[in-house]
Amino acid sequence: MVHKTLHITRTHTFSRFQVSEISTILDQTTTEHIGELVEGEDGVVYLEPNLEVEDIQQLQLDVRVAWEDFKGTSEYKLLSCQRIATRDDYITTLKTAMSLRGQKEQQINRCITWLEGTDFFTAPGSTRYHDSHPGGLYKHSIRTFNIIMELIKTPIFSSVEIIDAAIVALVHDWCKIGIYKSYLRNVKNEDTGQWEKVPAYEKVDSPRPFGHTGGSLYVSQQFIKMSMPMALAITWHMGRWNVVEGDYNDLTLSNKLYPIVHLLQFADQLSITDYCQEYLDE
């Protein structure tokens, strides 16, 4: 009996705050719970739950090997809330999260091919408010992801699935794809008094005029199956900044019912503050 796949459960992940300390082990083929793996300072220990195993030493060895293998995977990186930094990290993390949410490989590849064919990795995050430089949009998304991975470690958000949080952070601003156009703006140089042309962005008509959050939800749902809490998190990610009076009750209700809604709002807002950027740069 060889078990090469380890599944880390959320309960263990955050009851101990360190994913590397204890993991539940499920049999890959039957999803039967076959024990716990505890990683301490002195090494790795496998705890068996009332299961008859012919060769416990061999099983422990297999588990150790599997654990070491698993630690090198993108699945482990996501489940242990590791930070990401680059365009490649973004793509790998999105693919991993989609896969863990049960999306088929073909669908995942379709999504990534589409995304790479857009201006997502070159567009700014806004025309003048935050990340208004080339690449600002995906960098803002990465920062939102990294902050959500920090916030989710607090017991207040312990009921939120890591994978769901990862996905909503990564896709929450897909509505901004294809809506910015660069141009040269006349700016007066304060030192010389001369007018100079500097690169800037302006908004064009959206190819998906669903409004800010509706556009993200529409596009992401072409590729990713969203639960209602995930869809609500994307819908209300602007919090009170983007809500008309008639929708205010729905925003309040969503915040009340589903922690992932507040979680994304907080991460999105924090990601554009200087002190969070400094914290992430440390």
Q: Rank residues 35 and 125 by Cβ distance to Fe ion and give the closer one.
A: 125
CA distance 146 to 149: 5
Site for Fe ion, residues 180 to 209, rule: CB under 5 A: none
- Give least dist CB 173 to Fe ion, A: 4
- Give least dist CB 268 to Fe ion, A: 4
- Give least dist CB 153 to Fe ion, A: 21
- Name the segment binding Fe ion (CB under 5 A); options: 64-72, 108-116, 219-227, 262-270: 262-270
- Give least dist CB 139 to Fe ion, A: 11
Q: Rank residues 35 and 178 by Cβ distance to Fe ion and give the closer one.
A: 178
The count of chain residues that interact with Fe ion, using the rule CB under 5 A, is 2
Q: Rank residues 100 and 171 by Cβ distance to Fe ion and give the closer one.
A: 171
Phi, psi dihedrals of residue 135, rounded to the nearest 5°: 85, -5
Per DSSP, the residues of 255-276 read HHH-HHHHHHHHHHHHHTSHHH
Residue type at 163 in one-letter notation:
I
173 touches Fe ion (CB under 5 A): yes
- Name the segment binding Fe ion (CB under 5 A); options: 72-80, 94-102, 249-257, 261-269: 261-269
Per DSSP, the residues of 116-127 read HTTTTTTS-S-S
Per DSSP, the residues of 52-98 read --S-HHHHHHHHHHHHHHHHTSHHHHHHTT----SHHHHHHHHHHHH
164 touches Fe ion (CB under 5 A): no
Contact 62, 35 (CB under 8 A): no
CA distance 201 to 48: 59
For 30, 66, 226, the CA distances from 79, given in Å and listed in that order, are: 22, 16, 19
Q: Rank residues 8 and 276 by Cβ distance to Fe ion and give the closer one.
A: 276
268 touches Fe ion (CB under 5 A): yes
Q: Rank residues 5 and 242 by Cβ distance to Fe ion and give the closer one.
A: 242
The residues that touch Fe ion, with contacts defined as CB under 5 A, are: 173, 268
